[in-house]
Amino acid sequence: MRRVFLLLLLLVSAPWLLMVPDACADKYAAEFLKVGVGARALGMGGAFVALADDASATYWNPAGIYSVTGTELEAMHAEQFGDIINYDFLAVAFPLSSPGERKASLGAAFIRLAVDDIPYTKDLQWEDYGLDGTLGTSDEGEGNGKWDPGERIILDEGKIVWKNNADMALLLCYGTELTEKVSVGGTFKLVRQELLDNSSLGAGVDLGIIYSFSPAASAGLVISDATTTQLAWDTGHHEFVAPTVRLGGQYTRALGPFEGIGTVALDTEIGFEKRRLASQLWAGPFTADIKAGLEYWLKRTVALRTGLNAGRFTAGAGARFSGFGFDYAFVSHKDLDNSHRVSASYRF
């Protein structure tokens, strides 16, 4: 049965993947969906495809959400690049099955990335006096109805409007186990982007699978935007988000005399947008980024993490007690300011 399912998954996904190099996909369309969620996963460099086992599985791998044993809430907040960008994530997951039945769970999540309070000066007036700045000289630019360099702007704070640039996504996720070793899942996402006076709306689907070799080791596969997500702007312009393939594996074992548990995870993210300058590896239209992470739990209460996300150093820590969870992640960036992510969760 396992071989039959894997073959069917390949047959379903192959036509989409073969179409990608020739598709009219737009670079960096809906880029906010690639930032990552959950301070635990981000502290491990984003190597979470095979590990996803909490509410953040709505984003990382829908096949992993089946393992949620009770209702779980998770929230994350981040202020990126010198507090310019606000990034928020909120998710809920809960099991559908009863003990003894084949496990299945539902999840929902909301993502928002925004630059808030942007001064919008479209309605400001100026002295349309031309390039020389003097009225009545009939020089170039005078009375043309356009602002030209040298013309003085009449500052009227009452005509300055403060707006937001916001990208948002609603994720609806379902995951179930097919056998004791294989789980599958899917996420439907509704995407909306707002840029000053314009906006876009689109929808897409992510598909995922996890195969457990043993209780300690597993591998995962996710095809994000498997349907080549289309974003329709109110200007009439359309953007297309090409599929992304993420492959990952993880190995967990007991370590040390204090009930320690260690995990090593490795993911590869394969894209088809010819993003050579923004990727570690590339060949033709194909690009790849490597993500690696380490995690150590002490008595399943306190955790330390580190990793590499496409060469960028990450680190983090976490704690769990009485159903509550708190996680922190540090994500470095060589060109822009470093980012700090904080997330909290509750299971009941």
What is the domain-level CATH number for residue 185? 2.40.160.60
Q: Is residue 152 part of a domain?
A: no
Total number of domains in the chain: 1
Q: Is residue 254 part of a domain?
A: yes
- The phi and psi torsions of 340 (rounded to 5 degrees) equal -120, 130
Nearest partner of 13 among 209, 196, 173, judged by Cα: 209
284, 275 in Cβ contact below 8 A?
A: no
Q: Which two tokens stand for residue 188?
A: 């439907």
Per-residue confidence (pLDDT) for residue 204, from 0 to 100: 94
Q: What is the mean pLDDT of residues 49-58?
A: 95
The proportion of the chain whose per-residue pLDDT surpasses 70, expressed as a percent, equals 78
Overall pTM surpassing 0.85 (yes/no) = no
Q: What is the mean pLDDT of residues 214-242?
A: 92
Measured over the CA atoms of residue 60, residue 331, residue 162 and residue 148, the dihedral's sign is negative
Q: How many Å separate Cα 340 from the centre of its chain?
A: 15
Q: Is residue 290 part of a domain?
A: yes
62, 186 in Cβ contact below 8 A?
A: yes
Q: Is residue 141 part of a domain?
A: no
Q: Is residue 211 part of a domain?
A: yes
Alpha-carbon gap, residue 274 to 287, rounded angstroms: 7
Alpha-carbon gap, residue 195 to 128, rounded angstroms: 28
Measured over the CA atoms of residue 44, residue 47, residue 52 and residue 53, the dihedral's sign is negative
CA distances for 243 relative to 18, 145, 162, 269, angstroms: 11, 45, 35, 11
Q: Name the percent of the chain in helix, strand, coil, to the closest 5.
A: 10, 55, 35
Q: Is residue 248 part of a domain?
A: yes
Q: Is residue 337 part of a domain?
A: yes
pLDDT tens for 165-194 read 889 999 999 999 999 999 999 999 999 998
Bin 311: left if φ > 0, else alpha if -120 < ψ < 50, else beta.
Answer: left
Q: Is residue 130 part of a domain?
A: no
- Using the predicted structure, report yes or no on whether residue 267 has a pLDDT greater than 90: yes
Measured over the CA atoms of residue 16, residue 21, residue 24 and residue 30, the dihedral's sign is positive
Average the pLDDT over each of 8-12, 137-141, 224-228, 249-253 and give the range with the smallest value.
8-12
Alpha-carbon gap, residue 283 to 275, rounded angstroms: 10
Q: Which domain holds residue 282?
A: 2-120+160-347
